[in-house]
């Protein structure tokens, strides 16, 4: 087992491992779908995994 190369989770990364807002579980290869702008606070973002993008016809934020 080689755990020396850990993936960094940078904020705003369009792809990678993350929380899918549609099936509400962590999944690989999630894409940023929507960004929620808020006046105060960190705001939020909706990510969807590949199966959910196909199932719900979601278009990644970066592809619009
Ligand atoms: Zn999903």
Query: Residues 21-38: pLDDT tens digits?
Result: 999 999 999 999 988 777
**Ligand 1 is an ion; residues with CB less than 5 A from it:** 20, 22-23, 49, 52
pTM listed for this prediction: 0.65
Whether 45 has a pLDDT exceeding 90, the answer reads: no
Q: With bands split at pLDDT 50, 70 and 90, how would you rate the model's confidence at 4? A: low
Cα–ligand 1 centroid distance for 15 (angstroms) = 13
- With the C-alpha atoms ordered 56, 60, 61, 64, is the resulting torsion angle positive or negative? negative
Q: With bands split at pLDDT 50, 70 and 90, how would you rate the model's confidence at 3? A: low
Q: What is the pLDDT of residue 5?
A: 55
Cα–ligand 1 centroid distance for 16 (angstroms) = 13
Query: Residue 28 in contact with residue 56, Cβ under 8 Å?
Result: no
Cα–ligand 1 centroid distance for 53 (angstroms) = 7
Mean residue pLDDT across the chain:
81
Cα–ligand 1 centroid distance for 61 (angstroms) = 16
Around Cβ 54, how many Cβ atoms within 10 Å? 10
Which 3-state string (H, E, C) describes 23-34?
CCEEECCCEEEE
């Amino acid at each position: 087992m080689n755990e020396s190369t850990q993936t960094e989770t940078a904020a705003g990364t369009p792809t990678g491992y993350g929380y899918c807002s549609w099936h509400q579980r962590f999944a690989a290869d999630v894409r940023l779908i929507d960004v929620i702008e808020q006046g105060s606070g960190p705001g939020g973002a909706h990510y969807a995994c590949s199966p959910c993008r196909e199932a719900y016809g979601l278009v990644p934020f970066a592809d619009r």
